[in-house]
Each structure stands twice: as structure tokens, then as C-alpha cells.
Amino acid sequence: MIPLLTAEETRRAEEAHEGSLDELMERAGRAVAELVLEQFPGRVAVVCGDGNNGGDGRVCARVLRAAKRDVTVVEDLGKLGEPDVVVDALLGIGLHDAPREDVAGMIARINSAGVPVVAVDVPSGVNASTGEVPGAAVDATATVTFGSPKLGLVVAPGRFRAGRVHVAPIGLAPPAHEHSLVTAQILQQVPRKGRESTKYRAGSVLVVGGSPGLTGAPMLAALGAFRADAGYVTVGVPESTLPVFEAGLLEAVKRPLPEDASGRLLPRSADAIVELAERAGAVAIGPGLGRSDGTRDLVRLLLERLSQPVVLDADALHALQPVERSAPTVLTPHTGELAELLGASAPQVDAHRLAAVREAATRFDATVLLKGPDTLVATPGEGVLVAAYGESSLATAGTGDVLTGVIAAFLAKGMKPQLAAAAGAVAHGVASRLVQPPVGLVASDLFPGIRRALAGEGWDPPLQ
């Protein structure tokens, strides 16, 4: 895992450094200049603010001039000129509120210049500690950050302003930190089948869901669990849908459950589900479940009665209320589902993703995985893990069901819930990168990629 620093943690690292601040500025500014020299030809405008970020920018300008580049240092927040590339050294990591009017105007000129922008440490206007963008913010082509990446560079919406993130070592020792960026090496922690493994010891998963017209979702979850190396998968489904599962899901054990007149599971299915779960290491509830008073009550009963780790997704999250449990619970909402859980709006969650996922983890006393290109995994009392492997090709129906099955398999293998969820997100994301071409990806395309990801393929770092 890679440390993700907040602004305060970065300041502590700088204060602990035995050398001078000027020494750090020299290294930081030189690192920015080296990237500009390597990748961005032509005239350079270096826009400098008053603080340390501006100091880094002035060093960058000096190094560029020494390399015979045409450089203009812009300090009065006036005209930008006509550069071929802009270096943004305006605000740095100190931002908390929206930039003041004159700075916002300068940011607008940078964004409208139509040339590449290299941000120093973080794009101006992005909160380095949260990724929030409270006002105007620079749209960077690349960001050179120092020592360790800042949390705001990998959490949306700040993530979308950072461009390509380059981490430049400048001699800072990583301080104690709360949050981490998960790399593909986390997949090394997934227990593998050994010589003494049985199909149950390798990970036994029970998937509960399905309803008429929604039989594909639990199938995808079951196959996701198998491809994540589970040894045994059972699906508990409405009785009327059983023929569909018998025909389309060869490897899993199928069990019919009581249903209502519309084909949805009933609260009285709970007894049979608890019995089915006796040999399961984890239970996935929700794919294709449908929404009714009966399914809502069934989810509550199962949370109260099951002693196994539980993953809740999709319809199981609808109208969910906190339930006290002794076993781990993992919730896997997308933005809209998390907004419903918190009584907020989707735009509010999108604007404050870190705060929202932490609030949900505390409210439900659960590990909460907020899906997205910056998948966030929060557990009460622990730092947030960021899995930055989400690809746009995953924005298609059914991929969340696959993820549910993968996480359930990792839980059934004995992984702790936050690690299981983060590893599931990484395996899921790496698998999507292995699907080529990515255009037109459907959920079942992920299955070969999950196997390849667990075998060590596609382990490119999330940041340079």
C-alpha cells in the first residue's frame, strides 16, 4: 500500500525533515522542471502564489531558464500571455474553502488557455486532504506531487482535475498516515488453494437473490465467486426461477426458496437460508433480489440471524437500517445507493465522497465500499483504503454483481472485511484492464480477467 497524505500529514513530514525548507523547495521545483523539459516543449508560463507552492514554482522557472527555455513568471494574477504550457504553482495543499475571486479568475484563465497544465503538488482549487473542489479548480494535464501522493489526488472530484500523477521523491520520510492507496500487490494476500484444501476450506459462498426478470444478477455473483477461487457456491433463489438457474448455472448448487405472488423471496425464507449458510464462509445478499416489503424484512432478519460475514449489494441496500451484528458486514453501494442510505442526494455524495463513505461506515457499523474509479473502502475507526483501478468500461450492468461475488469469495477465504473489499475492487479493476478492447465490455467478460489478475497479470501501478 502507498501512503496517501493529508495536508496536515504532509506538514508533519516537512517539519520532521532535518534539512531546510529551501532545500525541499529546490528539489520540488527541480522535479517539476524536469517533467516539463521531458514532456512539454515550448514557452512556459509559471503562475506563482504567495506560499510554499509559489516558491516551488519560482525554482522551477529558474531551472527551466537555465535549460534555455522561454519562461514567464506570472505573480500578479494578471495576464497569462500565450504560453505553450502552464505550470500551476498558485495554491498548493493549503486550500480549505473556495478560492477568492482574483485567484478564481486566474484559474479560469489557465483553464481557458487551451494548453497543457502541470500542477505543483496538487491542482489549485483541489482540497489536498479530501479531493473536494469547493470552487474554481485547475484542470491539470499532469501533477507532480512530492514524497507521497496526496489523498485529494486520487479521490473524486479532485482525481478528475489531477491528470497524470507523478510522485517525485524529495527526501521526505513518510509520516504516520491514516489513509492508503491499494496496489495490485494486495492480491498476494488472497489465500490460495493448497494441497490440503477441500472445496469448503477453499471458500464456500452462499448467494441469496434473484426474482423474475433478474436472474442474471445472482448468476454473475456466483460465477464471480468461483472465478475468485471459491471452492463451493450455493445460490438460494425463488422457487419459480429455479429452472433458469438449473439451465444457466452449471457449477453452483441451487436451492429453491419460498416466494410471494410476484416471485420475490419472503421473510419466511430466512429459516432455509440460515440452514443453507451453515457450511458457508460468507453470504452475499441482494443481486436481483427485487424490492418489496418482504425482501426488506428478509434482509433485516438475515442480518440479525446469520453468524457469517455478509456482503450486501443492490436491492439488499434498499431502505436498509442499521442492524447490530457480531460478524462482519460489507456494503457495496454506488453513489445513488449511498445517497439513499444517508438520506442525501447523489450530487452531495459525489462532492464529498470521503466524508460520505466514512459516515456510512460509522452509521451502519460496517465496511462500506463506495464504487467508482476511486473506489473507497471505509471501516469504522480505520483509515480509508483507495482502490484506484476503476475503469470507465465497468460502467455497465452486472459488473457490480460480479464484484459482490468476488468479495464474498475473499471473505469466505478468511480475509478481514476491509482487505477483502479492497482486494475485490482491485481484482475487479485489473480484470477490466485485461479486457481488450474495452469498448462494449459486458460483465461476463470479466471472468477470465479475474483469474489472470489473481495469477499476477496486469499489475500495473495505480500511479507513476
Is 463 a residue whose pLDDT tops 80?
Answer: no
Angle at which helices 216-227 and 399-412 cross, to 10°: 40
Residue 451's pLDDT band (boundaries 50, 70, 90)? very high
Asked, as a colleague might, if the bond just before 309 is cis with ω within 30 of 0, I would say no
Residue 424's pLDDT band (boundaries 50, 70, 90)? very high
Read off the pLDDT of each residue in 231-238 and give the average, rounded to a whole number: 97
Read off the pLDDT of each residue in 424-449 and give the average, rounded to a whole number: 94
Read off the pLDDT of each residue in 311-329 and give the average, rounded to a whole number: 95
**pLDDT by residue (tens digit) across 9-32?**
999 988 888 888 899 999 999 999
- Find, among 180, 96, 85, the residue nearest to 142 by Cα: 85
pTM of the entire predicted model: 0.93
**pLDDT by residue (tens digit) across 203-220?**
999 999 999 999 999 999
Read off the pLDDT of each residue in 47-56 and give the average, rounded to a whole number: 92
Question: What pLDDT score was predicted for residue 378?
Answer: 98
SS3 222: helix
Q: What's the rounded Cα separation, in Å, for the pair 92 and 80?
A: 19
**pLDDT by residue (tens digit) across 275-301?**
999 999 999 999 999 999 999 999 999
Residue 389's pLDDT band (boundaries 50, 70, 90)? confident
Question: What pLDDT score was predicted for residue 18?
Answer: 84
**Alpha-carbon distances of 364 from 338, 369, 378, 387, rounded to whole Å:** 12, 12, 11, 21
Question: What pLDDT score was predicted for residue 19?
Answer: 82
Q: What's the rounded Cα separation, in Å, for the pair 395 and 60?
A: 40
